[in-house]
Amino acid sequence: MSAIGRYWKRHVCKSLVAVCLSAVCVLHPTMTLSAMAASVSTSQGLVPVRAAPRVTPDDGRYEVALGFFERLFKRRTKKVPEASKEKKSSSGQKAVVKAPTKPVIKTVTKDDDAAVIAIFGDEFSQDIGWGLKDAFSQTPDVKIDIHSVPKTGLVYRASRNPLKNPSEVYEKSPFSFAVVLVGLNDRVRMSAQKNADGVEIFPAYDFKSEGWGRSYVREIDRLRSAFSEIDRPIYWVGLPPVANKKLSADMRHLNDFVSSRLTGRGERFINIWDAFSNEEGEFTYRGPNLAGQEKRLRQKNGIRFNKEGRRKLAFFVEKLVIRVLSQSVDEDVLPENLASADETALREGRGASRDIFVLRKPPLDADQLVDPASFSASLSDEKNGSGRARTVGRAPELRVDNFSWVNP
C-alpha cells in the first residue's frame, strides 16, 4: 500500500472512531471518553491504557457529545421564543384569556310606547348597559338599547363608533334618554386636526398635555351639542377605579375634565368612584352589593365588572330614570296651547330641563281632610301606673299644640 493510501486509511479510521465514541456517549452518558478510547485501543491490539475513574454526567460531556452528534447528522431543534409560548393550566390545557361574554338576560315583552334608554361608550358602558337590562328586565315600559363599541372613545375612534354622530343612531332607533360612559381608550396621543382644505387647525397633542385637555373639552362639548340637537337628555357616568394604579390615575384625570365641564353648566355628572373603591379611594375587588352584602364586584382583569358589579353600576342610572318616569304627565292634563317640544318633554318627565313645572292634583280633596281636633291621643296614665289609656281633647285656643283651624 502506498503512503497516500496509508494516510487516508489512518484518517478515515480516526473519523469512524470519533463517530462511534459520540454515539456511545449519547447512549451511555456515564461512560467516560477515556474508558471508551481504552477499549478501542485494546481491540486493535495496541497497548491498553488504564481507564479513568467514572465521572457524573453533569460535567458537561453528555451535552457536548450530544451536540456533536446532532451537528454530524444536521439535526436542528426549533427554538420557541419565551414571549410566544402558550401558557397552560394545571390540567395541561391551553389557558385562553376570553373577553366578557354577553350575558343571557330574560326580559318581558316591552310595550310599543316604552321609554328607551340608549347606552353609548366603550367597554364600561357595555357593563352598565347589561346591568340596566337586568334591572328593567321585568319592566314592560322601559327598554334598553346598547350601542356600546369596545376599544373606542371620544379620541380613539373605531371604524364604527356611534359617538361620532348620535343623531344617526336616533334616526334609526329613537330613544328617550342617553347614558354615556367613555374614556378608557382615550389615553392616547390626539392626532392633528385639519379642515376641509387640508389646513391644520389643531396640532397633535400628547395625553395629559395642556393642548390635549383643551381638545378633549371640545370633544365633550361636541357630544353634548349632538344630544341637545335631538332634544334628548344625557346622563354622563364617571369612570370607575381600576386595579392598575397608573391607569386608575388616568381615570381620575379624565373624570375631572368631564365633571368640571358638566357641573359648571348645571348638567348632571354621575360620580361612581366612591361606590367601587375602598376607604382610601383606591381600587378594590369587593364591596357591598345592592343588598348591602360584601360581594366580589370586579373581574380578574381588574377592569371589567361581574354580574354583581354590573347591577350595582346600573343602580346609579336606574334610580334617576325611575324618578324621571314617575314625574311624567298624562296627556289629559296638558294645556292646549303647549308647544309640541314642551308637550313631549312633559310626557317624558323632562319638563324641568325646559323650565316647565307641573302642579299636581293633591291625593285628597279639601273636603275630605280630617280635623286634627277629632283625633284622640292614647297616653299612658303615669300617675296610677295602670297603663290604661286616657283621651286628650282639644288644646286651649292659641296654644302651640293646638293644630285646629277655623273654617270661614
Per-residue confidence (pLDDT) for residue 10, from 0 to 100: 62
Give the C-alpha separation, 212 to 371, whole Å: 66
Helix 61-72 / helix 3-27 crossing angle, nearest 10 deg: 120
Give the C-alpha separation, 143 to 112, whole Å: 10
Give residue 50's identity as a one-letter amino acid code: R
Give the C-alpha separation, 146 to 125, whole Å: 8
Instruction: Encode pLDDT of 326-363 as tens digits.
Output: 665 555 555 666 677 776 776 666 666 666 655 444 44
Q: Counting every residue, how long is the chain?
A: 408
Per-residue confidence (pLDDT) for residue 280, from 0 to 100: 92
Give the C-alpha separation, 110 to 313, whole Å: 23
Per-residue confidence (pLDDT) for residue 30, from 0 to 100: 47
Residues of the chain with pLDDT under 50: 26-27, 29-52, 55-64, 80-97, 359-384, 387-392, 407-408
Q: Which long-range contacts (CB under 8 A, 24 or more apart) does 365-373 make?
A: 371/404, 371/405, 372/403, 372/404, 373/403, 373/404
Per-residue confidence (pLDDT) for residue 397, from 0 to 100: 57
Q: pTM to 2 decimals?
A: 0.59
Per-residue confidence (pLDDT) for residue 369, from 0 to 100: 47
Please enumerate in sequence order all residues whose Cβ is within 8 A of that of 357, keeping only pairs 6 or more positions apart, or say none.
Answer: 351
DSSP state letters, 107-173? -PPPPTT-EEEEEEESHHHHHHHHHHHHHTTT-TTEEEEE---SS--SSS--SS-GGG-HHHHHHHS
Give the C-alpha separation, 305 to 282, whole Å: 16
All cell numbers assigned to 107: 326580559
Instruction: Encode pLDDT of 285-306 as tens digits.
Output: 999 998 889 999 999 999 999 9
Structural domains for the chain: 3-77 (no CATH), 115-326 (3.40.50.1110)
How many C-beta atoms lie closer than 10 Å to residue 148's C-beta?
23
